[in-house]
Amino acid sequence: MISRLHDPDYDRWACQIKRTGGCRQPIHLRGKVEHYDQATGRLLHRYSTTTEPNGVLRVPCKTRRVTRCPACAEVYRADTYQLVRAGLVGGKGVPETVKSHPCLFVTLTAPSFGAVHTRREKNGKTLPCHARRNAETCPHGQAMSCTDRHSSDDPRLGEPLCAECYDYDGSVLFNAISPELWRRFTLALRRRFARLNGLTVKAMRSQVSIAFAKVAEYQRRGVVHFHAVIRLDGPDGPDTPPPAWATADDLDQAVQHAAAAVTAEVKPLGRAFRWGTQLDSRRITLEGDLTDQAVAAYIAKYATKAAECVGTLDRRIQPLDDLNALPVREHARRLIAACMRLGSRSGLADLRLTHWAHMLGFRGHFSTKSRRYSTTLGALRAAREEHMRTEEITTGRLPLFDEDTVLVVAHWQYAGQGLSLGEQLLAAALTGVPLPSVGGGPR
Ligand SMILES: [Zn+2]
Ligand SMILES: [Zn+2]
Ligand SMILES: [Zn+2]
């Protein structure tokens, strides 16, 4: 910290760090950007990192994982919020008339893989976990009952009553196959909606399109479930209104049917998976219980969470890692072990379970949307970068050229990542983003 403070380049370094917005693990780039006049070949402007502190430019890591970098994850969360919200009320290139399109908020859950400790509430009172009068005893001598009233921070929540009985293989296979199950759900939904209105899917496409935005969320037991916004549009997406016959009630019926009907099979094991019986489908309205704002905030919240909220790791597990030594709870360890064991079977190579063991088998994207739902994360990023560039030009760091007449040549090289401990302290003071807690602790 002292050597950084006394460095003659300190001011420039501090400026770089402020511009990363408090990124905890900035990426170091070495390189240059040159602007040439296309007609004459004359060099108009050159930026090189050789004059920067340590000869590198520090840029944000742009991760979406809050455990790795809270500042960058916050940017991702805010972008996701804007993206989902634009699809509900308009903005960012989506017309405001989209508000009047029928729209549902749907939660698809995973099936049961064995009884787990749960917290249930009724009228503000916590109920016993699994109160059974004549509880069976499992083959391992465990009574299938738990009369505890678990507090919301009880570490046993989501853990099985009997770990020996729990279907760990099923749990990780469901996570692995869930993106395919989702894909089949969207196809079945379109088919059913068309049939309810006496049309073929092809005929429907010239009148109605169905748009989706979804996020995956880990439940405490370590399986993913999906929250989705499902909206009816006209044939050309959000710019066109759906016909009057395309109603939210029909959409809801089609959702119920598709969720119950679809299966996805892990062929080599002959195991088929379907959604759990708990299905939630509700209309999104501008007022009332389920508003556009609530939905957008809810989806954005989950976009930055990953499996670590279940108590697993936020990094890949290496083949030589000692599973017993991993700093995770027993339930997560067994899920990871199931991934490693099944992942080594040649017939299941497609599922890449070893590679995604730290995600408990899930290798899908956390937030996805159909092409015409709203704007894209890329467009939001481009808009922000354009804003930064304008700022650079007005503050004189970059010259203003007419884009068509200038040739830009850039060479960048990755030169490392992160901050030293001393730099972390300075960065926290400069950006107001708190330091990571030392020693980990419960997550
Ligand atoms: Zn970052
Ligand atoms: Zn319990
Ligand atoms: Zn048992």
Q: What is the pLDDT of residue 70?
A: 85
**Predicted local confidence at residue 135, as pLDDT:** 81
The residues whose Cβ lies within 5 A of ligand 3, an ion, are 138, 140, 142, 162, 164-165
- Ligand number nearest to the C-alpha of 431: 1
Mean pLDDT of the chain: 86
Which residues have CB less than 5 Å away from ligand 1 (the ion)?
A: 23, 60-61, 69, 72
Query: Residue 400 has what pLDDT?
Result: 55
- What would the mean pLDDT of 18-31 be, rounded to a whole number? 87
pLDDT at 439: 42
Give the CA diameter of the chain: 90
Which has more pLDDT, 174 or 414? 174
Report whether pLDDT(96) > 80.
Answer: yes
CA distance 366 to 89: 23
Question: In angstroms, rounded to a whole number, what is the distance separating the alpha carbons of residues 56 and 31?
Answer: 8
Distance 125 CA to ligand 3 centre (A): 30
CA of 349 to the centre of ligand 3 (A): 30
Residue 411 in this model has a pLDDT that exceeds 60: yes
Q: Residue 336 belongs to what H/E stretch?
A: helix 330-343
The stretch 151-176 carries a mean pLDDT of 94
pTM confidence score:
0.80
pLDDT at res. 392: 60
Instruction: Please report which confidence band the pLDDT of residue 241 belongs to, taking 50, 70 and 90 as the band edges.
Output: very high
The angle formed by the CA atoms of residues 145, 148 and 149, to the nearest 5 degrees, is 130
- Indicate the residue type of 12: R
- Report, in angstroms and rounded to the nearest whole number, the Rg of the chain calculated over CA atoms: 26
pLDDT at position 307 is 64
pLDDT of residue 413 exceeding 60, the answer is yes
Three-state secondary structure call for residue 214: strand
Distance (Å) from CA 392 to ligand 1 centroid: 21
- CA–centroid distance, 217 to ligand 2, in Å, is 22
**Distance in Å, CA 160 to ligand 3 centroid:** 9
| Confidence label for 391 from pLDDT (cuts 50, 70 and 90) | low
Long-range contacts, 134-142 (Cβ 8 Å, 24+): 138/162, 138/164, 138/165, 139/164, 139/165, 140/164, 140/165
What is the arithmetic mean of pLDDT over 333-351?
92
